[in-house]
Amino acid sequence: MSGLLLKDFYMTIRYCRTYLFIAIAFIALSFASSNSVFFIFYPCLLCGMIPVNLLGYDERSRWSEYSATLPYSRAQLVSSKYLIGLLAQFAMLVATGITQALRGNRTALYQGYGLLPMLLMLFIASTITPAISLPFLFKLGAEKGRIAYLVMVAIMCAAIFVGTELIGDQFMRALHFQTILPLLCIAEVLIYALSWLLSIHFYKNREL
Amino acid sequence: MNALEINQLSKSFPHFTLGPLNLALPSGCIMGLVGENGAGKSTTFKLILNMLRSDSGTISILGKDNRENLRMVQEDIGVVLDEVGLPECLNAKEVSAIMRRTFRNWNNAEYIRLLDRLSLPENKPFKDFSRGMKMKLGIAIALSHGSKLLLLDEATSGLDPVVRDEISEMFLDFTRSEDHSILISSHIVSDLEKLCDIIAFLHNGKLLLCEEKDRLLAEYALAHCTLEQLNALPAEAVRCAKTSPYGAEAMVLRHAVPAGIALSPISIEELFVFMAKEAKEQ
């Protein structure tokens, strides 16, 4: 599978170059700014989009069909996208972690939660997008998959809105974020693993 | 042994049905799959490569069932589809680095030799290649990992006649080895006529014929005659005919035509056009 990862690495360097520049610029800005939640989160969110974009490029160049003629299983073809996404997210978390550690406790986010919880929040934020979108893309293809993903996000947002209205603000405020963060992380790992398995299942059954 | 065996293969789509299809490609042979657009050639290739699921039938590649052992077999097959399918941003050198990690038998020296022979630049991005160059790169990859079977779907389309001739030579060289075989589809029937040992005609998802090329050319001929002569010919001699106010041209079985009728050799292209016409009339 190293061939697939190398191909995705080449593509990330070429096609997602702008993402990388933006990410580096935002990390630098997060270093300079005292209230830098947006600058810290945005690069990680961009990294989450890398596997989604690579799949779009694969379909446009018809690599999706050609790769099916190479000695790779469908599971490997799916896994390469999840792995390249994780590698990019890991690199971004390391870069953000080092920057924030160097900057010390001067940012609001760092002061509020500390380095490790902050990185865990970033991990959740960067992995949730590919975890939800990739199964749609592997099932329906890049174009239809993106539409299905947007519909899914709209439904989720509506459900969250209705949920908070029913439960009430007081309950939400009573939740201690530091306590539920590990639970959210475990849930995100499970969602990511489930997404991976689901994508393999969908892609194995998809006609190319 | 047959390099490829297709038995009772069928696949239905809302407006098209392929099969039931039976084909056998013996080792060491080149089979040409001829058919109009939408005849089912690419569908056949996709079914062989398990990219589509068949409704019924079996396919065996190099003696192994394609649904159970495809990944193992893919090491031994070289594939060029009508669109090569390499990412636009890569160059030939990077493709080599990827394929070295993909095929166990990747032969980099052979790949470099083929790039040189086909005048392909190593550092130019794939997106700047002409269609012909893209096809040539696809063929170079297919020939650089010790393939025993080449599956070529419209692999020579978009190439100029000189390069097509050169590629044909490479394919003929490839099949000098007894365990090397090729299944190739093309619209350019004249290329297939030069190259193939066996010709298979697909029309509207059905196999009209699958026969040794030399036998076809020996068996069939073109008869140029008047309408009266055409009507006097025995029914079993005439497969299909075109008539005009000036006379008739018919595809006939040589041995069934009485003496006195002018016969000329028929090309595979003419044979195919006549057979497709005959199938349409039926």
| Cβ contact B71–A7 (<8 Å) | no
Residues B166 and B233 in one domain: no
Structural domain ending residue among the three candidates B140, B173, B204? B204
pLDDT at A124 over 80: yes
Q: Assign residue B224 a region: left if phi > 0, alpha if psi is -120 to 50, beta otherwise?
A: beta
Is B4 within 8 Å of B149 (Cβ atoms)? yes
Q: In this structure, is residue B210 part of a structural domain? A: no
pLDDT band at A173, cuts 50/70/90? low
What is the pLDDT, as a whole number, of residue A186?
92
pLDDT at B104 over 60: yes
When divided into structural domains, chain B yields a total of 2
β-pairing, B77-80 with B149-153? parallel
Strand partners, B276: none
pLDDT in tens, A182-191: 888 899 999 9
Residues B190 and B221 in one domain: no
Residues B222 and B181 in one domain: no
Residues of B in contact with A6 (CB under 8 A): 97-98, 101
Nearest CA-CA distance, residue A80 and chain B, Å: 13
Is A127 within 8 Å of A92 (Cβ atoms)? no
pLDDT at A62 over 90: yes
Task: Give the mean model confidence (pLDDT) for residues B1-29.
Answer: 92
In chain B, the DSSP E strands lie at 2-13, 16-26, 30-35, 56-61, 64-65, 77-80, 149-153, 181-185, 198-203, 206-212, 220-225, 238-244, 247-253, 262-265
pLDDT at A107 over 70: no
Say whether the peptide bond before residue B20 is cis (omega within 30 degrees of 0). Answer: yes
pLDDT band at B47, cuts 50/70/90? very high
Least confident window among A36-40, A166-170, B51-55, B80-84: A166-170
| Cβ contact B50–A68 (<8 Å) | yes
Which two structure tokens, joined as six digits, stand for B158? 């978009």
Residues of B in contact with A207 (CB under 8 A): 51-53
ipTM of the complex: 0.89
Residues of B in contact with A70 (CB under 8 A): 74, 102-103
What percent of chain B is helix, strand and coil (3-state, nearest 5)? 35, 30, 30
Nearest CA-CA distance, residue A71 and chain B, Å: 5
β-pairing, B247-253 with B220-225? antiparallel
Residues B200 and B231 in one domain: no
Task: Give the mean model confidence (pLDDT) for residues B218-226.
Answer: 89
Residues B8 and B47 in one domain: yes
Residues B24 and B134 in one domain: yes
Q: In this structure, is residue B211 part of a structural domain? A: no
Structural domain ending residue among the three candidates B204, B232, B249? B204
**Residue of chain B whose Cα is closest to the Cα of A57:** B87
pTM of the model: 0.87
**Residue of chain B whose Cα is closest to the Cα of A204:** B51
Residues B197 and B227 in one domain: no
Q: Which residue has the higher pLDDT, B121 or A100?
A: B121
Of A23, A70, A36, nearest to B72 by C-alpha is: A70
Residues B135 and B6 in one domain: yes
pLDDT at B179 over 80: yes
Residue B12 and residue A206: Cα distance in Å, rounded? 16
Is B42 within 8 Å of B83 (Cβ atoms)? no
- In chain A, count of helices (H) and strands (E)? 10, 0
Nearest CA-CA distance, residue B188 and chain A, Å: 23
| Whole-number CA gyration radius for chain A | 18
Residues B50 and B162 in one domain: yes
Handedness of CA A43, A45, A48, A53 (dihedral sign): negative
Average pLDDT in chain B: 90
CB neighbours of residue B1 within 10 Å: 12
Is B243 within 8 Å of B227 (Cβ atoms)? yes
Range of the domain at B220: 216-281
Residues of A in contact with B99 (CB under 8 A): 3
Nearest to A69 among B79, B90, B97 (CB): B79
Nearest CA-CA distance, residue B96 and chain A, Å: 10
Structural domain ending residue among the three candidates B204, B237, B262? B204
Residue A39 and residue A153: Cα distance in Å, rounded? 23
Strand partners, A148: none
Residues B24 and B47 in one domain: yes
Nearest to A71 among B46, B71, B100 (CB): B71
Residue A76 and residue B16: Cα distance in Å, rounded? 32
| CATH code at position B14 | 3.40.50.300
